[in-house]
């Protein structure tokens, strides 16, 4: 049955992919965008309805959404996901309140379901395969804010009579990602014929293509019984060198990475891997894009 989904953060990397997948799956999508949002990632989605807002608690926003009878609210918006912002105070002061406002807006608009995006940063550096029962030991304000937001919003959703899910996202990649992330940096270096300075790249890493992440969000939106915390990753950790070999081959680059030119940080994560069995069991979702195919989409992107 088609849903009407409302999405915040739809101009972002994961949010835009989720909006596209929901539309492709036959659902109606309303994107809540701030006036200063960059809609570039949404320009290929002519059926997307965009509603501009200055604040999620605006009476006008509530009235406009309520009139459109949405079913599910997907909260992807977050201020400060880059490494330079991970310990800024606004991680706490801005993001937790905004996220709780999104739950209240979902309830006021008549949604039956709320979904938010968390992060593997909620677990901290545990260097092992992680399921949802792993202890949460965040080391940054970003991770602590995500953890607090998930706890608060799941509780508030229950109090408002909504079913709710919190998806702890591991590492996503794909065309259109922010240029400062690791694979985008190496891609840029390979295209320019340069040899990137890197660590030894022996870390085991769980990368999930953004289109697979989007399908997971769609599946979660369509499964009202999927409630609580869920890991969202590929479920497999591969050495970073494996990913870079794929990228080097896909770009036909002759550049050799300078492995070991950058030392490991004292707090370097050496093993990041999600156990996704809970999400797969609840929704039927499984990743479908192979590493080689996913890297090819990245290498062939503008």
Report whether pLDDT(234) > 90.
yes
Confidence of residue 119 (pLDDT cuts 50, 70, 90): very high
Give the per-residue pLDDT at 82: 84
Report whether pLDDT(135) > 90.
yes
Chain centroid offset of residue 137 CA: 20
**What's the whole-number mean pLDDT along residues 118-137?**
98
Q: 143-198: per-residue pLDDT in tens?
A: 999 999 999 999 999 999 999 999 999 999 999 999 999 999 999 999 999 999 99
Q: 198-231: per-residue pLDDT in tens?
A: 999 999 999 999 999 999 999 999 999 999 999 9
Handedness of CA 34, 38, 42, 47 (dihedral sign): positive
Residue 33 φ/ψ, nearest 5 degrees? -120, 140
Q: H or E stretch including 129?
A: strand 128-130
| pTM summary value | 0.97
Instruction: Out of 3.40.50.720, 3.40.50.620, 3.30.365.10, 3.40.640.10, select the CATH number for domain 4-173+209-233+271-288.
Output: 3.40.50.720
* DSSP labels, 52-65: E-S-TT-HHHHHHH
Round to whole Å and give the CA distance between 108 and 160: 9
Confidence of residue 255 (pLDDT cuts 50, 70, 90): very high
Beta strand 238-239 with 204-205 is antiparallel
Give the per-residue pLDDT at 30: 98
Give the per-residue pLDDT at 156: 98
Round to whole Å and give the CA distance between 35 and 158: 31
Confidence of residue 1 (pLDDT cuts 50, 70, 90): confident
For residues 33 and 50, the answer to whether their CB atoms sit within 8 Å is yes
Give the per-residue pLDDT at 145: 98
276: CB partners within 8 A, 6+ apart: 230, 231, 232, 233, 234, 235, 287
Round to whole Å and give the CA distance between 231 and 272: 12
Percent of the chain scoring above 90 in pLDDT: 96
Report whether pLDDT(88) > 90.
yes
CB burial of 190-227 (b: ≥16 within 10 Å; e: otherwise) equals beeeeebebbebebbbbbbbbbbbbbbbbbbbbbeebb
Round to whole Å and give the CA distance between 204 and 193: 26
Listed in order, strand segments (DSSP E) in 211-294 are: 228-232, 238-239, 258-259, 271-274
What the block records as the tokens of 292 is: 């080689």
85: CB partners within 8 A, 6+ apart: 79, 91, 142
Taking the alpha carbons at both ends of the chain, their separation in whole angstroms is 36
Q: 89-104: per-residue pLDDT in tens?
A: 999 999 999 999 999 9
Q: Where are the domains of the chain?
A: 4-173+209-233+271-288
Mean pLDDT of the chain: 97
Report whether pLDDT(268) > 90.
yes
Beta strand 238-239 with 171-173 is unpaired
DSSP designation for 168: E
């Amino acid at each position: 049955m088609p849903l009407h989904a409302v999405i915040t953060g739809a101009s972002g990397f994961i949010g835009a992919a989720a909006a596209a997948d929901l539309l492709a799956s036959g659902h109606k999508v309303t994107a809540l965008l701030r006036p200063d949002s960059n809609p570039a990632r949404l320009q290929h989605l002519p059926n997307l309805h965009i509603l501009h807002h200055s604040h999620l608690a605006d009476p006008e926003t509530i009235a406009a959404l309520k009139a459109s009878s949405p079913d599910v609210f997907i909260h992807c918006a977050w201020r400060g996901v880059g490494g330079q912002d991970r310990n800024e105070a606004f991680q706490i002061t801005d993001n937790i309140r905004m996220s709780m406002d999104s739950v209240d807006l979902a309830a006021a608009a008549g949604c039956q379901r709320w979904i938010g995006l968390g992060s593997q940063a909620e677990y901290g550096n545990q260097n092992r395969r992680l399921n949802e029962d792993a202890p949460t030991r965040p080391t940054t304000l970003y991770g602590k804010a995500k953890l607090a937001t998930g706890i608060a919003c799941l509780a508030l959703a229950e109090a408002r009579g909504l079913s709710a899910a919190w998806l702890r996202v591991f590492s996503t990649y794909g065309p259109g990602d922010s240029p400062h992330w690791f694979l985008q940096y190496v891609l840029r270096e390979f295209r320019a014929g340069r040899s990137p300075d890197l660590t030894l790249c022996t870390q085991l890493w769980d990368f999930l293509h953004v289109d697979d992440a989007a399908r997971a969000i769609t599946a979660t939106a369509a499964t009202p019984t999927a409630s609580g915390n869920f890991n969202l990753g590929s479920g497999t950790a591969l050495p970073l060198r494996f990913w870079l070999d794929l990228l080097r081959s896909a770009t036909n680059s002759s550049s050799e990475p300078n492995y070991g030119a950058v030392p490991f940080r004292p707090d370097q994560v050496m093993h990041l891997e999600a156990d996704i069995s809970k999400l797969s069991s609840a929704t039927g979702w499984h990743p479908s894009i192979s590493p080689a195919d996913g890297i090819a989409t990245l290498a062939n992107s503008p």
